[in-house]
Amino acid sequence: MDGYSNIYGPDNFSDEFCKYVLNMTPEQVFHADEIPKAAKRYVKWLQRSLTQLDSLGTATTALKNFEKLPGTEDIYSARYPNSQKNPRILYFYIQGQNIVLLYPFLEKNSGDYQRGIRVATTRKILFQAQWPLDEQ
């Protein structure tokens, strides 16, 4: 991800964030003269979360906005508690402190979370198959 040292993700992650979290196009968010007010707070949350992940790595799990997802081997979630939209970013760690972003979505009900975990798990498997990494 541009601007971060330890964060990687699919090329379309920003597009998905705009579509699934903001319900906007990337052009409306990143190429407009001004980011719409409704989107601005969630873009700032994304930037703040990525900055924390980039600098703190696995230590972010001690913060209230980050959690390991129960029932998964090693998928984590960045969340924006007490927000109107309740966005989530699912990710996992590789080679210690490096983060791979998997899937952004809105959690409106438990079905959304289960769907997000399925997408994230599939992407994680595909990522690992394409780029085998020594986990040590």
Per-position DSSP letters for 2-34, written without gaps between them:
TT-SSEE--TTHHHHIIIIIISS-HHHHHSSSS
CB atoms inside a 10 Å sphere around CB 8: 15
Looking from the CA of 16 toward its CB, the CA atoms found within 13 Å total 18
Residue in 102, 111, 48 with CA at minimum distance from that of residue 80: 48
Contact in structure between 86 and 108 (CB atoms under 8 Å): yes
pLDDT string in tens for the chain (136-residue length): 678 999 998 889 999 999 999 999 988 888 777 888 878 999 999 999 999 999 999 999 999 999 999 889 899 999 998 888 899 999 999 887 899 999 999 998 878 889 999 999 999 998 888 876 554 4
Indicate yes or no: pTM above 0.75.
yes
